[in-house]
Structures are given as C-alpha cells and as structure tokens.
Amino acid sequence: MKLLLFYVHDFWMKPHSKNLEGVAERSDELSAAGAVLALVHAEPADAERSGKVATKMVKNIKWVAGKFSSKRVVLHYFAHLGRESADAELARELVESVAERLRGVDYDVTVTPYGYFTEFKLHVAGESMGKVFVEF
C-alpha cells in the first residue's frame, strides 16, 4: 500500500472519462475544504493482508487529520504511485472499508468516483505535515 496524503485547504474534482467497464455513469463535481486528501495506491500484496492495510490507512489518515484538527477526508483511487497495482476490485474494497471505518468515528468522508480518470484542483497546506507519503 502506498498513500500520498495532502492536507488541502480546497479540493475540487470531476470525472473526466471512464477507465473501467461496468461502472455507473458519473458526472458530478465534488469539492471539500479543510480535508485530508488520500491518494490510494493498492498493490498486489495487499490482498493477503487487507484488514491490516485498512487499519494502517485509517491510522495514517487520522494522524494527518489530527495535525490540522480536521475530521474531513477525501479518498481517491490513484494507481500511479508504484509499478504494480492490485486488482481494481481490491482497491475499491479497501477504500470503501476505510471510508466506513472513518465514518464510524464521525469523520466526514467523500470517496471520488471509482473507475474514472478525473480532473482536479487542490490547494495544499504549506506546513511540513501538509504533505505525507507512507508505504506499508
């Protein structure tokens, strides 16, 4: 698992084009302010340890959010942080699991559209903790 975490003052995105067959049509724009944006890259090895991976994802996201006293999170599928990517369905399941866990502890969670290339704009915090990369 690779996570690139940004604390964003502002985030906006909209679907550009589908990259997976069979996903629902989406054209809605999403935005968030004062949130942790988690770019999620699932890897093949994550399949055997998905529960532990989800737990570590939650802990890392909450840690960055805590540095900014935020309870808002945006989870975005991002298969561009490594050479090998997990099966698309595993990535979707991990993101949905993390979203539910965070919602269970009163986080406001947005999940970007699954199976789409997207366009986005972000305003990232300048503080050191506004940009964190983790790998596990």
pLDDT value of residue 82: 79
CB 5 within 8 A of CB 136: no
* Structural domain for 113, as ranges: 2-26+38-135
Which two tokens mark 89? 């369905």
Number of domains in the chain: 1
- Rounded to two decimals, what is the model's pTM? 0.92
Q: What is the pLDDT along the chain (136 residues), one digit of tens a residue?
A: 999 999 999 999 999 999 888 888 888 999 999 999 999 999 999 999 999 999 999 999 999 999 999 999 999 988 777 788 888 889 899 999 999 999 999 999 999 998 899 999 999 999 999 999 999 9
Instruction: Specify if 32 maps to a domain.
Output: no
Give the closest residue to 5 by CA, choosing from 48, 51, 50, 68: 68
Instruction: Specify if 31 maps to a domain.
Output: no
Instruction: Specify if 80 maps to a domain.
Output: yes
CATH number where 112 lies: 3.50.80.10
pLDDT value of residue 11: 98
